Structure 1
């Protein structure tokens, strides 16, 4: 596994950490807000925990210094390392939406369902989510706030659609909005925005309402977990909504033709490929594999089909 630590200062005492999911660079980003009460947003997978620990050490944050760990949602590429990080930083409070809190305290059911989906590659991709002492978990509801010290706050906003336990996080000082997966994935090499619509929670109208909520917050910058900072806020959120609609319409057509999942995915991939520069410009096999692991067409189509079946 490639465990080289990559830390990028983003201004406003915010540092992007490449958390190296499965050893890949540029696939999962965590963020350290180095305020009076240091806060780690999106610790990444269990396998990422040593990488994150090295980055925090480089930035002068020791075991007793980290005040909070916050996740946008409990999918394992975002929250799989929470238990490990909680052990490494025993003073840190863990903040998550109330619909995800019990899974961080007792992750057995979450891990069982993840193993059904990923099989043996689960260990390579994510590792094992360890339980966190429930007394250290703070569950937020539709809105909440994390004290960053010095009057600075990280404000949480419930933003389901990608997952029913998803929150966006707004920094009161910088105007940064941590979007998790609610705005899809951003590919920095090509500036593409692709939807993230995995089963079982994806819902189009809910996701679009969350994007509208993000627009209404008027953030200065979007910080994607996949991957990095984006300053073109309005345009990017509009593109995210457009991509969701395009994919859902394409899957509806495939479903109307009675196609099974694999054939539907092939049709959707063919129909949408010209929307993304990455299709033409990213030719390195490892990079292609990386983005397929992160944002596979089959997984997206399966999530949309599940949503369509639910509404039918």
Structure 2
């Protein structure tokens, strides 16, 4: 993504009915296709493509992957399904946020035939074959179209962005609270739901597997509270967005080794969980709370 490796994960579940969890961006789709081919999954072999939510770093490649793998069913929460069939509004919104950086960061989400899309409700299941399932659990807070996915055979839980952004180089964990959907209560409820599912591992879309489930989920909730508390202080003090971002960034800096590490790692961390996006999302939520 955006020229970085090790920044956005797609996970292949091999079995009777191979399943790809997350596609990454449109610009990454050829890399994903070639990686699947190297693992023995050809154009007609992939049974399912499922995304945790429709943000472009997770689902931007859906249309391309659907074209590369014409037998695959595309699975998404019902609140995101129409945007995969007709990405016009989603891409217009992304253009407003990212401007000229959109093409470099994400590329263009191509439409997927509506007949190939299966929309999930708040719970659902994807058949992986031989009695194995990938169960979907609605987990908004980060986004209203977000689901977590747990593998019945392994206990692996695909957490999308609902547990934040994990950086394996430094072990940092930072929340992802972008506008317009962030809501603290539902975000904390989603983390509690993940804990109740008793997964064996957490598979972060950004980036990689984590074995220490309980500690990591506790930290996810703590990070959310820290960022919300600091943003509330800035909001109460009447700060505008720029000053609020500067204050929160300064007061959280020591929490993250990445920001004291190699400049490229720090830049990668900011791209995935930028302070401006996080603070803007929390301020948007605070505004709704105060209506």
Q: TM-score, normalised by structure 1?
A: 0.92
**Displacement, 1:138?**
0.3
Residues 52 and 58 in structure 2, CA contact (< 8 A), matched pair in contact too: yes
What corresponds to 2:277 in structure 1?
A: 299
Q: Is 1:133 matched up with 2:95?
A: no
SS in 1 for 2:74: strand
Distance 2:254 2:100 in 1: 33
Q: Is 1:114 matched up with 2:94?
A: yes
Q: How many pairs were matched up?
A: 290
Q: Is 1:173 matched up with 2:153?
A: yes
**Displacement, 1:106?**
0.5
Distance 2:281 2:148 in 1: 21
What corresponds to 1:8 in structure 2?
A: none
What corresponds to 2:61 in structure 1?
A: 81
**Displacement, 1:151?**
0.7
Q: Is 1:270 matched up with 2:247?
A: no
Matches within 5 A, 1:274-293: 274-280=254-260, 282-283=261-262, 285-293=263-271
What corresponds to 2:206 in structure 1?
A: 226
Residues 52 and 76 in structure 2, CA contact (< 8 A), matched pair in contact too: yes
Q: Among residues 195, 198, 223, which one is paired with 2:178 in the alignment?
A: 198
Q: Is 1:150 matched up with 2:130?
A: yes
Give CA deviations for 1:221-270 in whole Å, capped at 9, x if unaligned. 00000000000001000000000001000000001111111110110011
**Displacement, 1:167?**
0.1
What corresponds to 1:309 in structure 2?
A: 287
Distance 2:241 2:278 in 1: 10
Give CA deviations for 1:5-38 in whole Å, capped at 9, x if unaligned. xxxxxxxxxxxxxxxx112011101100011100
Residues 178 and 277 in structure 2, CA contact (< 8 A), matched pair in contact too: yes
SS in 2 for 1:242: helix
**Displacement, 1:141?**
0.6
Q: Is 1:163 matched up with 2:138?
A: no
SS in 2 for 1:101: helix
SS in 2 for 1:155: strand
Runs of 4+ aligned residues of structure 1 deviating over 4 Å after TM superposition are none
Gap regions ≥5 residues in structure 2: none
SS in 2 for 1:153: strand
Q: TM-score, normalised by structure 2?
A: 0.99
Q: Is 1:62 matched up with 2:42?
A: yes
Residues 23 and 29 in structure 2, CA contact (< 8 A), matched pair in contact too: yes
Give CA deviations for 1:126-172 in whole Å, capped at 9, x if unaligned. 00000000000000011000000111100000000000000000000
